[in-house]
A = this chain, B = another copy of it.
Amino acid sequence: MRGVGAAAGRAARARRGRGAAMAEEAAVRAQADTVRRLKQDNADPDQIAKEVAKLLEMKAQLGEDEGKHKFVLKTPKGTRDYGPKQMAIRERVFNAIISCFKRHGAEVIDTPVFELKETLTGKYGEDSKLIYDLKDQGGELLSLRYDLTVPFARYLAMNKITNIKRYHIAKVYRRDNPAMTRGRYREFYQCDFDIAGQFDPMIPDAECLKIVHEILSDLELGDFLIKVNDRRILDGMFAVCGVPDSKFRTICSSVDKLDKVPWEEVRSEMVGEKGLSPEAADRIGEYVQLHGGLDLIEQLLQDPKLSQNKLAKEGLEDMKLLFEYLTLFGITGKISFDLSLARGLDYYTGVIFEAVLLHQENEHVEEPVSVGSVAGGGRYDGLVGMFDPKGRKVPCVGVSIGIERIFSILEQRLEASEEKIRTTETQVLVASAQKKLLEERLKLISELWDAGIKAEMLYKKNPKLLNQLQYCEETGIPLVAIVGEQELKDGVVKLRIVASREEVNVRRESLVEEIRIRTSQ
């Protein structure tokens, strides 16, 4: 296999070609230049740190590609395995999220991992280049889903559903540049909750924000902030700043980068790459630094330019209503109306929001993971209509919890805390004190399984008692049921409590009940 793997690796590199390899190396050099320039300019230390991390990652990726290919022993770029410990953390997080979704009365659905390519076409704006396509092997052209929202809209239109509240937890795929140490992957879970239907304004929207608030509070990830804006306010703002209609979406994409790069860079993209006039860019620059609560909404409703724009006015009035509902929910303390929030995707039509964790203050972790947004969503009233043959619209609003970043934090926290986490639920180990008792162990464990007891045994004919007890210590099994020749004659089983080393003889017919009592809490 070694030979085969190495040959395949060589073939892969040859196929990718010197051109691709050189491009990757050039990207690393360019990144190194960026870091050098930032240091010379005495830039913000946080930003320098971020760019250095990116550089290290790019270098690691390049090295990894070279070194590991020989043995074909890796997962694809930007993906990872989940071992039993990671899965235990993942299940805890999923349980918290699913509980919340069910608390809000959601049903659950599932859709295929791939869609017809044309189903995804024209839904993601500039991000469309990140979609994974399947190879044309004859038949339909397919792509891996990029999110759960477009498949949901396709599902609604296809089944003519006009009214549903559902959640969907599944993996999505983006050919992005992964930053795995910060919980960014090419394959990652999304946990989506959406409300579809024609309802009175802002009631379902407010519930989505309540859900984000509940989940982030439940998971105890530290302080967080939910930024809220409205596509109509953004579009109105672009109009009054003098952005031509045709440039709304692309300027919106630039604004969306404000959480990652400083305004000056965004401005130069708008003016340089996208051909916006410097005056228009500067006017936008004034608006996007605004954030606040009800008072800011009131202030903008009085803004001489914005209040004259129909779209902006509608958006602001709905935002006011939303804040009234959020006040009734008692959660405005963690909500910020933020004019710089844009969200990249094309399909949003109204309220948009995004939750970010604030400075990770965690005593256990020396170097906190820097995580970005952990949840986001918004209203998309036009998406279902794009799929309906007659263009019938179904208004929708929804939220997506970005769970990988949450995992990264909890995983680091657990590693630092040295808390022992059990990865099985085994209640009892069936053990033997002497040799030649394999048959008796098999008979007893079979009885226990049939009675619903979680039981294990060592797969050896004649295991030593010490090894069997040690296995319990290592894996956290609380009880040992020991069969021995004397016990068999007496019709009893010796039950040992691992923690206290106490041993009691239990009549065989009472064993199941005894195990249940001793492991029920």
Query: Measuring CB to CB, which residues of chain A are less than 8 angstroms from any residue of chain B?
Result: 1-2, 4-5, 8-9, 12, 15-16, 20, 70-77, 79-84, 87, 90-91, 102-116, 118-119, 121-122, 132-142, 144, 154-155, 157-159, 165-166, 171, 173, 175, 187, 195, 197, 199-200, 203-204, 206, 210, 214, 325, 328-330, 385-389, 391, 423-426, 438-439, 442-443, 446, 449-450, 452-456, 459-461
- Residues in B whose Cβ lies below 8 Å from that of A456: 104-105, 165
With A84-B166, A135-B133, A424-B105 already in contact, the answer to whether A113 and B187 are too (CB < 8 A) is yes
Q: With contacts A80-B112, A139-B175 known, what are 14 further pairs, Cβ within 8 A?
A: A2-B391, A4-B122, A12-B118, A12-B141, A73-B154, A73-B157, A76-B114, A81-B112, A87-B108, A87-B109, A133-B134, A134-B144, A328-B439, A330-B446
Contact of A112 (CB < 8 Å), options: B79, B114, B122, B387: B79
Contact of A103 (CB < 8 Å), options: B73, B102, B155, B455: B455
CA distance A224 to B442 in the complex (A): 23
A387, B210: Cβ atoms closer than 8 Å: no
Contact of A87 (CB < 8 Å), options: B110, B112, B139, B141: B110
CA distance A175 to B450 in the complex (A): 39
For the complex of A and B, 4 pairs with smallest distance between CB atoms: A199-B459, A84-B107, A105-B456, A79-B112
CA distance A175 to B138 in the complex (A): 10
- Residues in B whose Cβ lies below 8 Å from that of A385: 1
A-B contact pairs, 27 of them (CB 8 A): A1-B385, A1-B391, A5-B118, A20-B138, A70-B389, A72-B387, A75-B111, A79-B114, A81-B158, A84-B107, A87-B108, A103-B449, A104-B456, A105-B454, A106-B424, A112-B187, A113-B113, A114-B187, A132-B135, A137-B175, A200-B460, A200-B461, A203-B438, A203-B459, A210-B449, A328-B442, A328-B443
With A2-B391, A446-B328 already in contact, the answer to whether A108 and B137 are too (CB < 8 A) is no
- Residues in B whose Cβ lies below 8 Å from that of A77: 139-140
B76, A116: Cβ atoms closer than 8 Å: yes
A325, B81: Cβ atoms closer than 8 Å: no
Q: How far is the CB of A357 from chain B (nearest CB, A)?
A: 21
A204, B459: Cβ atoms closer than 8 Å: yes
CA distance A459 to B195 in the complex (A): 10
A452, B103: Cβ atoms closer than 8 Å: yes
CA distance A132 to B135 in the complex (A): 8
Residue of B nearest to A20 (CB): B138
Max chain B Cβ within 10 angstroms of own Cβ: one of A9, A105, A206: A105
- Residues in B whose Cβ lies below 8 Å from that of A423: 107-108
Residue of B nearest to A110 (CB): B82
Residue of B nearest to A175 (CB): B137
CA distance A380 to B397 in the complex (A): 49
Contact of A459 (CB < 8 Å), options: B70, B103, B200: B200
CA distance A166 to B144 in the complex (A): 28
B75, A442: Cβ atoms closer than 8 Å: no
Contact of A329 (CB < 8 Å), options: B20, B119, B442: B442
CA distance A328 to B438 in the complex (A): 10
With A87-B108, A454-B105, A459-B199 already in contact, the answer to whether A81 and B155 are too (CB < 8 A) is yes
- Residues in B whose Cβ lies below 8 Å from that of A132: 134-135, 137
- Residues in B whose Cβ lies below 8 Å from that of A165: 456
- Residues in B whose Cβ lies below 8 Å from that of A5: 118
Q: How far is the CB of A66 from chain B (nearest CB, A)?
A: 13
CA distance A456 to B449 in the complex (A): 40
- Residues in B whose Cβ lies below 8 Å from that of A103: 449, 452-455
Residue of B nearest to A71 (CB): B389
A140, B12: Cβ atoms closer than 8 Å: yes
With A103-B454, A329-B446 already in contact, the answer to whether A118 and B8 are too (CB < 8 A) is yes
Q: How far is the CB of A24 from chain B (nearest CB, A)?
A: 9
B214, A449: Cβ atoms closer than 8 Å: yes
- Residues in B whose Cβ lies below 8 Å from that of A452: 103
Q: How far is the CB of A163 from chain B (nearest CB, A)?
A: 10
- Residues in B whose Cβ lies below 8 Å from that of A388: 1
Q: How far is the CB of A382 from chain B (nearest CB, A)?
A: 10
With A119-B72, A134-B132 already in contact, the answer to whether A81 and B102 are too (CB < 8 A) is no
- Residues in B whose Cβ lies below 8 Å from that of A391: 1-2
